[in-house]
Chains A and B, each alone.
Chain A
Amino acid sequence: MDLKLGHYNKDGIEVVDVEGEIDVYTAPRLRELLIDLVNKNNYQLVVNMEKVEFLDSTGLGVLVGGLKRVRAHDGSLDLVCTQERILKIFRITGLTKVFGIHDTVDEAIAAKKSEK
């Protein structure tokens, strides 16, 4: 399987675990999951990218789309990513300024809680 998705709730925040490659072929599944979570009233999301092996602009589009959806409900979507190869595409596109990017899921959750 090119892309493995899972999600769980922690401290009221929905964490999405992504494993594998996010590209033009697999990105629609992530998009559907994010839409589904928002439709079920989950507006505080953390997407864990630590096991993502590949991310392209289609994947970025899905993440930006998810961010816009939660923001429409005053929510937020943060990312967990320490992999330089993945962070690179965020830097090239300037999206490091758009997303909160954290080193661990716990840090991302703590950051969200301190914002409240």
Chain B
Amino acid sequence: MATVEVTFTPLPAHVRTARLVATAVARRSGVDESLLDEVRLAVGEACSRAVEAHQRHCPAEPVKIEMTEQDERFVVTVSDHAPTAPARVETAPASDGGSREGVGYDGAGYDGGSAIPAGFGLAVISGLADDVRVLSTSSGVSIRMSWPSTAATS
């Protein structure tokens, strides 16, 4: 299946568009119906993260999402160009060292600005896709996620 690529202005309003496109392409490439909610959520989280990074650092730069099939897996890569410090690639946030099952957030330690610690979106993504890779460079972050497609369901 050919790659589908969507580029969008980093506005919160477009995150839903990206979710819908990713879900449609996932369905077409044979990802099991039972996994589509996970795809939707994970892609939404990655795009939200990229949009917020761009709004802070480079609001004129678009966010890119690429969807393709590789080795019987549906692969989504969300890339941003925000020149930030590398994203924390933990599967649980640093605040209190949550367990693998839940990130152990106890709702107590936030400041007024954001109730959820930075990195939470990545933690959610890690809980939804069994294959998540974060490539972080000084010029941006790429989050690559994949799910089994077509005949690959085990």
**Residues of chain A within 8 A of B127, CB atoms compared:** 92-93
Q: Is B25 an interface residue (CB 8 A)?
A: no
Assembly CA distance A26 to B44 (angstroms) = 13
Assembly CA distance A17 to B59 (angstroms) = 34
Q: Is A42 an interface residue (CB 8 A)?
A: no
A64 to chain B, nearest CB (A): 4
B47 to chain A, nearest CB (A): 8
Chain A, residue nearest B112 (CB):
A65
Q: Is the CB of A64 within 8 A of B45?
A: no
Q: Which of A61, A89, A91, A97 contacts B115 (CB 8 A)?
A: A61
Chain A, residue nearest B47 (CB):
A24
B88 to chain A, nearest CB (A): 14
Q: Which of B11, B12, B40, B120 contacts A93 (CB 8 A)?
A: B120
Chain B, residue nearest A27 (CB):
B12
Q: Is the CB of A25 within 8 A of B115?
A: no
Assembly CA distance A62 to B48 (angstroms) = 15
Q: Is A78 an interface residue (CB 8 A)?
A: no
Q: Is the CB of B102 within 8 A of A92?
A: yes
Task: Give how many A residues have a beta carbon under 8 Å from the other chain's beta carbons.
Answer: 28
A12 to chain B, nearest CB (A): 24
Contact with B along A41-66 (1 / 0, CB 8 A): 00000000000001011101111110
Q: Is A1 an interface residue (CB 8 A)?
A: no
**Residues of chain A within 8 A of B15, CB atoms compared:** 23-25
Q: Is the CB of B40 within 8 A of A57?
A: no
**Residues of chain A within 8 A of B107, CB atoms compared:** 64, 67-68, 95, 98
Assembly CA distance A23 to B37 (angstroms) = 14
B contact set with A: CB distance below 8 Å: 11-13, 15-16, 19, 37, 40-41, 44-45, 48, 51-52, 98-99, 101-108, 110, 114-116, 120-121, 123-124, 127-128
17 contacts between A and B (CB under 8 A): A23-B15, A24-B15, A24-B48, A25-B12, A54-B41, A57-B124, A58-B48, A61-B120, A65-B115, A68-B108, A91-B101, A92-B102, A92-B103, A92-B127, A93-B123, A94-B99, A94-B104
